[in-house]
Structure formats: C-alpha cells, structure tokens
Amino acid sequence: MSLVDTTTERVAEGIGVAPGIAIGPAYLYARAAFEVEERRIASEDMEGELARFEKAVSRSERDLRKIAAVAREKLGESSADIFVAQALMLRDTAFHEAVVEHIRRDRMSADYATHVVLGRHRQLLEAGESEYLRERANDMLDLQDRVVRHLRRGKILSAIDTESIVVAESLTAADIVLFSQRAILGTALDYGGATSHVSIMARALGLPAIVGMHGVTEQVVSGDMLVLDGLTGRVVIDPTEDTLAFYRDRRERYRQLQEEQKKIVSLPAQTLDGRKVRLAANLEFMEELELVEEYGAEGVGLFRTEVLFLMRKRVSLSEEEQFKAYRRIVESVSPHRTTFRLLDFGGDKMLPLGHREHNPFLGWRGVRVLLDKPDMLHPQLRAIVRASRFGPLRILLPMVTELDEVYAFKDILSALYEEFEKKNVEYDPDIPVGIMVEVPSVAIKAGRFAREVDFFSIGTNDLTQYTLAVDRGNDLVADKYQELDPAILQLIRQIVEEAHACSIEVSVCGELAARAVATPILIGLGIDEMSASPIYLPEVKRVLRSIRMEEARSLAAQALQARDAHEVTSLLEVWLREHDCDVASMLEA
C-alpha cells in the first residue's frame, strides 16, 4: 500500500440497525471466498486428504449441534430441526461415502469432492416444481459452505479470533449465532433491512450492525481498519488519526449513555410530576422475548405476527403452531399484556401469493386481506383467543379504513366466542380489540371509530407516508418523509382527544415512539403508551423522567404552530440540551 492510501479515508453508508460504535480491522466473510476449484491430489496425499475431510465433518457436526441447541432454546424445536437435518446429512452415505469415493478413486481434493457431491444433489432439488423444495437447496449450500470452511480452517477461522468487524454480503441466523460467541465487534452487510432476521439478532445480541450497504464487500479487504457507527449507518474505511480520535470519543460518550440507561431500566416510567406513560416493546421474533424484561418494558405494545410466517416462508401456519407460539409469548410477558397485531400483509410485506399490484400501499393489505381470506384470519384468531387464558392480551387490527371492517371483524369474533362457549374452550371473554390508526381518514374520523373499539394504536410510519404523500423507500423524496411534520402532530392530537373523550387508550407504535427526541411532544399530546424496539426504551424513559406535563404540553403546543419538521426538531433539541438531557441521536456529527 502506498503512502497516499494511508491518508485517504473513505466513507460508505447503509442502514444502521443495531446501535453502537465499533473500531477495528475488517474481516471479510464472503461466500465467494469458498469458490471451489477443481483440484486433484497426489496419491501419497490421499490418506491425509481423507483425514482432513473427517476432521472437517466432525467440526461441522459439532457446529451444527451447537447451533441446533441455541436455535432450540431461542426459536423452538421446528427451527432447530433444520440444523439437526444438516448434521444428519454429514453422516449420510449419499454424502459421506460419495466424497470418500471421489477422493480415493478420482483423487479429488476434499473441497472439490464436497462441492461435486452436494452440487449434484442440489441440482436435483433446484429442478423441482415446488418453491418450498427449491429452497431446501439452500440447506445443502449452507452445509457445503460449512464443510469447506472447516477444510480451510487454518486460513479462515483463525482470522476471526482477533477482534474484528465482519463484512459480508449477508449472514444467516446460524452465522450470527456463532459469531456472537467470538470476538466480533460489529458487522456491515451488503444486503438486508431493518426488519431482516440478522438485524433483529444483532440488536438482541447488542452487536453494532449496518445493513443495506450495497457493495461494501467490494470496497473493503480483510485487515482494513474500519470505524462502524451503528447509530448513523456509516462505515469509515482507513480512517485518519483525527477521525479515529473523534470516534473513540464518540464511542466513549455512547458507552456512558448506555451505562446511565442501564440504571434507568428499573425506575418507573413517569414524568417529574407523576404522570405514568406505559413504555412497551415492539417485537417480531420469539428470541426477542427476553428483551422485554431486560429493557424494562411494561409488556408488548405491538407483536407483528406476520414475521412468524415470513420466517417459515409459508402462507399459513396451522392454528396449533400459532397457538403454541402465542401461548409462549403471553406466558413470558405476563403479568404485563401483549398486543397482537393480526397478520398485516400487503404494502411492502408481500406474501408469496404470486400476487402483484401496481400500488400495493394503496391496495390489498392489512384487514382488507384478512376479511377476504378467512383461511388466513380464522386460524390466527382462534389461536390468539385460545392463548388468552394464559395471560392478558389485546387484538389489534391492521390497516383499517372503514367502520364496516370493524363491524365485520366483531361479528367473526362473537361467532368464535359462541363456538368456544359451546365447546367449553376456555378463553378470556373480555379481550380488548383495537385498531391501527395509520390512514388519515381514520384519524379524521377518530371520534366515530373510538365508539366502536377498545383502543387505538397510531402507526406513525404509514400515517406519515399517507399524509405527506412520501414513499420513504424512494431515495428521491425520502428527505421529505418527516414524522414530526406539524400536520402529523395535528392528526395525533385529534386522535388522542377523540379517544380520551370515549375513555379509550392511545398508543404510538411507529418509529416515532423510538425517537427520544420526540418523547416530550408525544407526552404533551397525551399519548398513554409508547411502544418501540426495546433497546430504545431506556432513552425514551430518561427523557420522560426529566419533564413535567405542563412543559410537555407547552412544547407540543409550540410544535403544532411550527412551520415544518425541522423547526419542531430544533425546538425539541434546544429544550433537551437546556435540560441536560442529550439523546443519542443528538450525538450525530
């Protein structure tokens, strides 16, 4: 490397999905690194090659048993089965003996023989008609990667024993489980989104992570010095001394904030003058359940059930499978309550229904799909109602736009209660039923809806995009996506007033609830519950605990009169600074 290179730093950006700052050497973990060449061995090396293969098989087997055990504990038996099956394949004659035969007879290297044998089987699966089965070819590819990785153990795994930042195209759940037991500082990935499995796992494991970096694997080589900032989604490659000093300081300040927040977890969520606001967790995965207590959440304000389905890439899960999952959730969260949002497909979460729309956000989604597809709604509803005897829960309808949808749903629920009465199925007959308020028309007609439902949950993400006509996934206009626009705040105020007039509670479960900078306004507008990814709750609580209702109301009143979201944000930041209440988003450089 020339002298010039050492003084130029480069910056790459993506989506920060797990906060924290990591500084260290890159470790490029690439599937491409396992491209296998056709290689033959000399006959005197044959015994050594066979021994090398046996060792790689044993090591792979040990990995898979360990991953299966972790998966069983965190994700349940059926997720663990995939890893158990991979372990069985290692000893399967169709794999093991075939590889040994290729080494002995054809003098293939163990790497190449593994590739040839599993490649042959993979092709058979990929040729099938069924998508389910074609996906199983991935299991074989995973297995091949694992065995080849162990065959090259000396070169590959040792590198990761030093503290490093993993850079990869993508990681599997198994990868991240294993990495978390090694000296990994953080991870930067080409693919993935905020809600992809690996992002959730990284947050759960407290590992700073950035996804959606599009080509970071091409910009970085192993050993490059990196700074990874999970708060801003920024990676600095070959940072200068000044940059390093800046980030070391930032890392330290972030650490201090974290320490302070740990202390706050067990303190009550209330304002200085004693107004209690429930801080609840948004969850999607079973393995996040333990975060509820860890971050001091009072229950689950939003369980996004569709993720349970998407993980299994299945259109439907049986009532029984769902019941088991829901029961485990309510039992774990009890005595606090769990709010289950019914399947919310459509929009950007398309089911593999082979269904395409020109404008999915204005199309067949949420409760519209549920009411059209009883085979999807009924098993889920039955499973949730059955789970209600194991702990307090609420039912939340997604993407409601008409009163008739609420009536139709209530008819279905009453019929179910009647059936359960007749069959002596135990359930809680007073399950609260609420709606997502995420469409401007519902916000405007909140008074009518408030008389028909037991609670409102404001989805600020969709409410913002529908109100401001901004697709936040579109880079050309994404900067116009502003949840703190006074128009949105006006709608929230109206929703809360109408709800409180009918004595029902209002939650905010969109990303706005996670932004501590917005907390004073939400409190000032009278929100009863804020639900966010658990890691954000301590910071929200810290702001909540440093404000009086009177101040919050006055801030909200000023914000409603502001000209735009920028003015609202500066209003809030000034207040927070003056009250010695800096939040992580204000650490930004």
Partner 1 sequence: MVTREVTVMNRAGVHTRPASMIVRAAAKFRAEFLIRKDEYEINGKSIIGVMTLAAEQGARLTLVFEGEDENEAVGAISRLFESGFGEEL
List contacts with partner 1 (CB under 8 A): 78, 81-82, 84-86, 88-89, 92-95, 121, 124-125, 127-130, 132-133, 135-136, 139-140, 314, 316-318, 321
CB atoms within 10 A of CB 508: 30
SS3 78: helix
Smallest separation, CB 133 to partner 1 (Å)? 5
Smallest separation, CB 120 to partner 1 (Å)? 9
Q: Are 423 and 444 in contact (CB under 8 A)?
A: no
Using the minimum distance from each CB to partner 1, give the nearer residue, 125 or 156.
125
| Alpha-carbon 1 to chain mean position | 39
DSSP state of 499: H
Smallest separation, CB 142 to partner 1 (Å)? 11
Using the minimum distance from each CB to partner 1, give the nearer residue, 368 or 386.
386
Task: Give me the residue label for tokens 């080509």.
Answer: 215
Using the minimum distance from each CB to partner 1, give the nearer residue, 288 or 321.
321
Task: Give me the residue label for tokens 């626009």.
Answer: 485
Using the minimum distance from each CB to partner 1, give the nearer residue, 107 or 136.
136
SS3 361: helix
User: How is residue 464 written in tokens?
Assistant: 């913002």
Element (H, E) at 387: helix 374-387
Phi-psi region of 164 (alpha: psi -120 to 50; beta: other; left: phi over 0): beta
174 to each of 21, 143, 253, 330, how far by Cα in Å? 23, 11, 32, 27
Smallest separation, CB 233 to partner 1 (Å)? 35
> Dihedral (C-alpha) 213, 219, 220, 224: value to the nearest 10 degrees?
-120
Task: Give me the residue label for tokens 């070819």.
Answer: 137
Smallest separation, CB 516 to partner 1 (Å)? 42
* CA separation for the pair 64, 58 (Å, rounded): 10
Q: Are 70 and 127 in contact (CB under 8 A)?
A: no
- Known catalytic residues? 197, 509
Smallest separation, CB 371 to partner 1 (Å)? 21
